[in-house]
Amino acid sequence: MSDAYLNYDALKLPQHIETVLLTGAGGFVGREVTQLMLNLYPKLRIITTDIIEPPRLTDDPRLRVVKADLGDTAQIEALFEGEKVGGLIALHGIMSGGSEANFELGYAVNVDSHVSLLKAARRHSEAVLSQPMTYVFISSLAVYGGDKCKPIDRVIPADTPIIPGTSYGVEKTIIELYAYDYGRRGYLDTRSCRLPTVAIRTGAPSTAASSFISGLIREPLQGIPSVCPIAESEADPMLDNMPVYLSRAKTVFRNIVWGLCMPAENIKFGKGDRSINIPGIRVTPRQILAALKQHAGDEGVKLVEYKKDPAVIAICETWAGDYDSSAEVKQGFVVDHVESGFSAAVQDFKDELALAK
Ligand SMILES: NC(=O)c1ccc[n+]([C@@H]2O[C@H](COP(=O)([O-])OP(=O)(O)OC[C@H]3O[C@@H](n4cnc5c(N)ncnc54)[C@H](O)[C@@H]3O)[C@@H](O)[C@H]2O)c1
């Protein structure tokens, strides 16, 4: 399948967005979304920030790179000073495994710093913009959980309550509600984009419980051993029974930028709550191992070690394997091909490895 479905031509920024602030820019998704916006918008000013020094992806002065701890409100305020930020993508956070392991840290970053950022964005929007700032909060499908949301389930959003199964999911839900109310009151034009698992994640493994999904491909393709934490052998039925809902990384990055570009009127096609389930595809770990075999042969498959990790399984059991995303497709978000989407994600990663050599 060609990449035409990504429809980059649709990604027209609204006129009031001349500057975008992007948090979490030192992370996997932040780095790539920054690069995509640099490629798409030659005139856009981009401010990137992270608690670690974000990468300076270009010498172009329209990119301002700021190292800041967003747990400190003074450092948040300083990001807006002297700027006219029309769009914001809030990506920073502590991932699912990290938030489950450290309750205090998860709430401090995933809740408190995001509340401070929303408040600062509102103040800035009211002070310098003639219409509300477009504010994209990056959430997660981990907001879903409960009885109707197990790996075997296909979630129909209208029939599925938000009952997060992890602190991470609760934290994301809290900020979605804040963002919803800021939108309802007209303070900011908010959109909460709930990402599926992003594949293939480049760089080092993250503290996300889903990290192994990318790890089953990423490490063996580089000749490095990888652990499959949800099965005890290749014959384990868990490999078929624990499907994951994921999206090709390229598709997620495109959809996040669409979250910023999407006309406010498209929100009406959604669930009425300003929250958007970014579309993905259902893939089983067995299909992932088959893709590994296709791309890396038996040698690659031999690098997978089966070692069950109850903590990872407990988190994965709270995630549905599939979601109905027809409303989001109407809103203009795009979805991978169900048959070839994962293989395309693996090919993207192989291409990146080849380029890095
Ligand atoms: N990658 C996925 O599969 C996935 C799936 C669902 C949702 N998400 C969401 O997407 C967003 C980005 O994910 P990612 O994979 O790039 O994660 P990541 O861990 O690679 O990046 C998160 C960034 O946040 C930064 N950060 C943490 N605390 C901070 C603080 N106090 N101040 C400033 N920066 C801070 C970290 O340094 C890190 O660079 C997150 O909000 C995550 O919850 C990701």
pLDDT in tens, 29-78: 999 999 999 999 999 999 999 999 999 999 999 999 999 999 999 999 99
In order of their start, the domains of the chain are: 14-197+248-279 (3.40.50.720)
Ligand 1 neighbourhood includes 355 CB (under 6 angstroms): no
Long-range interactions of 260-267: CB distance < 8 A, separation 24+ = 260/13, 260/17, 260/20, 260/87, 260/89, 260/134, 260/136, 261/10, 261/11, 261/12, 261/13, 261/14, 262/191, 262/331, 262/332, 263/14, 264/189, 266/330, 266/331, 266/332, 267/191, 267/331
- What is the distance in angstroms between the CA of the first residue and the CA of the last residue of the chain? 26
Answer whether residue 1 shows pLDDT above 70.
no
Ligand 1: which atom is nearest the Cα of residue 109? 31
Please compute the mean of the pLDDT values over residues 311-336 and round it to a whole number.
Answer: 93
C-alpha gyration radius of the chain: 20
Identify the pLDDT of residue 211: 85
Tell me whether residue 305 is exposed, middle or buried, using C-beta atoms within 10 angstroms of its C-beta: 0 to 12, 13 to 18, 19 or more.
exposed
Quick one: pLDDT at residue 208?
75
3-state secondary structure of 347: helix
Residue whose structure tokens are 């690098």? 303
Tell which one of 21, 48, 51, 253 to mutate to probe ligand 1, the residue whose CB is within 8 A of the most ligand atoms.
51
Instruction: Work out the percent of the chain whose per-residue pLDDT is above 90.
Output: 92
Residue 347: its pLDDT value, please? 94
Cβ(332)–Cβ(265) below 8 Å: no
Q: Cα-flanking dihedrals φ and ψ of residue 47, to 5°?
A: -105, 120
Q: pLDDT at position 319, please?
A: 86
Name which of 51-55, 291-295, 330-334 the model is least confident about. 291-295
Contact 96, 142 (CB under 8 A): yes
> What is the reported pTM?
0.96
User: What CA–CA distance (Å, rounded) separates 231 from 351?
Assistant: 29
User: What is residue 335's three-state secondary structure?
Assistant: coil
The answer to whether the CB of 191 is under 6 A from ligand 1 is: no
Confidence class of residue 316 from pLDDT cuts 50, 70 and 90?
confident
- Rounded to whole angstroms, how far apart are CA atoms 29 and 140? 13
Q: Whose CA is closest to atom 29 on ligand 1?
A: 51
Going by their DSSP bridges, the two strands 244-248 and 63-67 should be labelled as unpaired
How far apart CA 181 and CA 163 sit, in angstroms, is 19
Beta bridge partners of 247: 198
The mean pLDDT value of the chain amounts to 95
Q: Which of 73, 194, 198 to mutate to test ligand 1, by most ligand atoms within 8 A of the CB atom?
A: 198
Question: Is 70 exceeded by the pLDDT of residue 197?
Answer: yes
Question: What is the distance between the alpha carbons of residues 222 and 305, in angstroms, rounded to a whole number?
Answer: 15
**Mean pLDDT on 241-245:** 94
What is each CA distance from 253 to 34, 55, 86, 213, 279, in whole angstroms?
Answer: 9, 17, 19, 18, 12
Residue 68: the pLDDT is 98
Atom of ligand 1 nearest to the CA of 210: 3
Within a 10 A sphere around the Cβ of 31, how many other Cβ atoms?
22
89-147 residue pLDDT tens: 999 999 988 998 999 999 999 999 999 999 999 999 999 999 999 999 999 999 999 99
Instruction: Say what the pLDDT of residue 210 is.
Output: 82
